[in-house]
């Protein structure tokens, strides 16, 4: 059913009790052309574009819990394309363009809100780095604006822009087309679109083994039985190393926990996303009115999808240093998700040493904004057995070839990216 003002009115007459389910809940078949492991945004988008762009519809998405229950439903929903290096700039800009048309394409409101993403500059080194990045973005055709201290103060009056601030603000880099989107809606919209094209979305179905025969994976052991597949795509974010290990594939990935927290809801007060690289902190206000804040990783390997106090304290301290006016807000909820931190901070979308096994991982803490382009490129890679131009640089073998894509220049210490 197409969602529209007419279907809304029609369903109002039956007290909204007769809306059809947005996707089916089928039993797994014994064989598929393509099986995608992981029902987060990336896996679901991949299935959607496999069907929509490449006509491949004998596809299943296997999800161990419920769709969107991983990082897709745990992230702080910031969407942007403010990257310096060319491969990242082109890939994330394609993603942002897909975001701009996504609600219409999916016939599902993903609540993309281009409210701007502002990076605060606290030092002259920050100013240099931001003007360099801003100029690189503009050369790549991406919007970027440099703001003076006065312009920052006018745009976000709540910020402490005084010279005595704990972290003095001396300028900023703004991407107006950046912003936020509704995380759950992205998973649900892609799921509904994929299902309508024939994709089986199978929840409560954990992959427990990959049966390898020489250079191929023949089938997949799951908690809902054995499934054969001609091609297998892995999109399990923080569990990438764990699941790839079932096929004996070792990845340049470490798994780390990242947390976020929200305050009690208040009236609209902050209409943009504010980030500070120096302090390692960002904040925005959700449509429900909560302040959404996040910051550092816990900085040690973890698969524990839960929150710990030290990073919470860091985030709250940073919030109050930048926005002293929030000192009486109470915090409502904290949570954590496990991130696939790659060795250069950039993703991997491509082939593996095995013939019919493809991977999409290394999203670090920025994979939500990548969801549309990741699905787009991963579907292309699986369908054609070779990458799309936009993910040609994101190969698994780039580490050995000296072609790492290291935005930060941090080296192979995944927890610092």
Partner 1 sequence: MMLLPCPYCGPRDVTEFTYGGDDGTVRPGDPQAVSDARWVSYVYIRDNPRGPHDELWQHSAGCRRWIRVRRDTLTHQVLSSAPAAQPVQP
- Closest approach, Cβ 398 to ligand FAD, in A, equals 19
DSSP state at residue 27: P
Stretch in the footprint of ligand FAD (CB under 6 A) among 56-64, 81-89, 160-168, 317-325: 56-64
* DSSP code per residue over 229-296: EEEEEE--GGGHHHHHHTTT---SEEEEEEEEEEE---SS---SEEEETTTTEEEEE-TTS-EEEEEE
76 binds ligand FAD (CB under 6 A): yes
Nearer to ligand FAD, 159 or 341 (CB): 341
Nearer to ligand FAD, 71 or 391 (CB): 71
Q: In a 10 Å sphere around its CB, with 0-12 CB exposed, 13-18 middle and 19+ buried, how is residue 192 labelled?
A: buried
- Closest approach, Cβ 75 to ligand FAD, in A, equals 3
- Say which entry of partner 1, ligand FAD, none residue 400 contacts (CB below 5 to 8 A, set by partner kind): partner 1
Interface positions, 266-295, toward ligand FAD (CB under 6 A): 294
Within 13 Å of residue 199, how many CA atoms lie on the same side as its CB? 34
Interface positions, 365-394, toward ligand FAD (CB under 6 A): 365-369
Stretch in the footprint of ligand FAD (CB under 6 A) among 146-154, 195-203, 230-238, 313-321: 230-238
Interface positions, 197-256, toward partner 1 (CB under 8 A): 239, 241-242, 245, 250-255
Four-CA torsion 60, 63, 67, 71, nearest 10 degrees: -130
b/e code 111-122 from CB counts within 10 Å (16+ = b): bbbbbbbbbbbb
Nearest to 215 by CA among 341, 417, 354: 354
Of 32, 50, 59, 69, the one binding ligand FAD (CB under 6 A) is: 69
- Closest approach, Cβ 410 to partner 1, in A, equals 13
Nearest to 232 by CA among 29, 30, 35: 35
Site string (177-206) toward ligand FAD, x via CB under 6 A: -----------------------------x
Contacts (Cβ under 8 Å, ≥6 apart) of 43: 36, 37, 61, 63, 233, 235, 236
Give the distance, in angstroms, between the CA of residue 197 and the centroid of all CA atoms in the same chain.
24
Q: Region of 385 please: left (phi>0), alpha (psi -120 to 50) or beta.
A: left
Give the distance, in angstroms, between the CA of residue 397 and the centroid of all CA atoms in the same chain.
23
Q: Which two tokens stand for residue 347?
A: 């993703």
Site string (17-46) toward ligand FAD, x via CB under 6 A: --------------------xxxxxxx---
Alpha helices in 107-168 (DSSP H): 124-139, 149-155
- Closest approach, Cβ 396 to partner 1, in A, equals 10
- Say which entry of ligand FAD, partner 1, none residue 337 contacts (CB below 5 to 8 A, set by partner kind): ligand FAD
Cross-strand partners of 331? 263
Site string (286-325) toward partner 1, x via CB under 8 A: -------------xxxxxx---xxx---------------
N residues, the chain: 417
Place of tokens 């799951």: 222
- Closest approach, Cβ 307 to partner 1, in A, equals 12
- Say which entry of ligand FAD, partner 1, none residue 368 contacts (CB below 5 to 8 A, set by partner kind): ligand FAD
Of 152, 249, 258, 354, the one binding ligand FAD (CB under 6 A) is: 258
- Closest approach, Cβ 395 to partner 1, in A, equals 13
Interface positions, 326-365, toward partner 1 (CB under 8 A): 343
* DSSP code per residue over 164-209: TSSS---EEEEETT-EE--HHHHHHHHHHHHHHTT-EEE-S--EEE
Which residues of this protein are in contact with partner 1, per CB under 8 A? 239, 241-242, 245, 250-255, 299-304, 308-310, 343, 399-400, 412-413, 415
Site residues (vs ligand FAD, CB under 6 A): 37-43, 62-65, 69-72, 74-78, 206-207, 235-237, 239, 243, 258-260, 294, 337, 363, 365-369
């Amino acid at each position: 059913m197409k969602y529209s003002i007419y279907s809304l009115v029609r369903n109002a007459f039956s007290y909204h009790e007769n809306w059809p389910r947005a996707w089916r809940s089928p039993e797994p078949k014994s064989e598929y052309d393509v099986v995608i492991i992981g029902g987060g945004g990336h896996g679901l988008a991949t299935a959607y574009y496999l069907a929509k762009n490449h006509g491949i519809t004998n596809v299943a998405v296997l999800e161990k819990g419920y769709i969107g229950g991983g990082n897709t439903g745990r992230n702080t929903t910031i969407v942007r394309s403010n990257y310096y290096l060319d491969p990242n700039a082109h890939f994330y800009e394609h993603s942002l363009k897909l975001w701009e048309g996504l609600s219409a394409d999916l016939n599902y409101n993903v609540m993309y809100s281009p409210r701007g993403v502002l990076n605060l500059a606290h030092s002259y080194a920050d100013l240099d780095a931001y003007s360099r990045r801003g100029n690189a973005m503009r050369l790549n055709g991406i919007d970027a604006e440099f703001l003076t201290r006065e312009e920052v103060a006018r745009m976000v009056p709540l910020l402490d822009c005084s010279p005595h601030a704990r972290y003095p603000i001396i300028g900023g880099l703004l991407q107006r087309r950046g912003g936020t989107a509704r995380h759950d809606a992205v998973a649900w919209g892609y799921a509904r679109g994929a299902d309508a094209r024939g994709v089986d979305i199978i929840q409560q179905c954990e992959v427990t083994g990959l049966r390898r025969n020489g250079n191929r994976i023949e089938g997949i052991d799951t908690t809902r039985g054995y499934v054969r597949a001609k091609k297998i795509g892995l999109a399990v974010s923080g569990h990438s190393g764990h699941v790839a290990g079932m096929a004996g594939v070792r990845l340049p990935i470490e798994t780390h926990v990242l947390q976020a927290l929200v305050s009690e809801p208040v009236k609209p007060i902050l209409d943009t996303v504010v980030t500070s690289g120096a302090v390692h902190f960002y904040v925005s206000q959700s449509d429900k009115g909560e302040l959404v804040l996040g910051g550092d990783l816990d900085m040690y390997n973890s698969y524990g999808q839960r929150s710990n106090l030290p990073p919470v304290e860091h985030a709250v301290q940073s919030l109050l240093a930048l926005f002293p006016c929030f000192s009486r807000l109470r915090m409502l909820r904290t949570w954590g998700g496990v991130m696939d931190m790659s060795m250069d901070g950039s993703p991997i979308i491509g082939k593996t040493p095995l013939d019919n096994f493809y991977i999409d991982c290394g999203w670090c803490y920025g994979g939500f904004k990548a969801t549309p382009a990741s699905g787009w490129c991963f579907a292309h890679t699986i369908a054609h057995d070779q990458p799309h131009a936009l993910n040609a640089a994101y190969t698994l073998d780039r580490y050995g070839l000296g072609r790492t894509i290291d935005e930060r220049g941090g080296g192979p210490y995944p927890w610092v990216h």
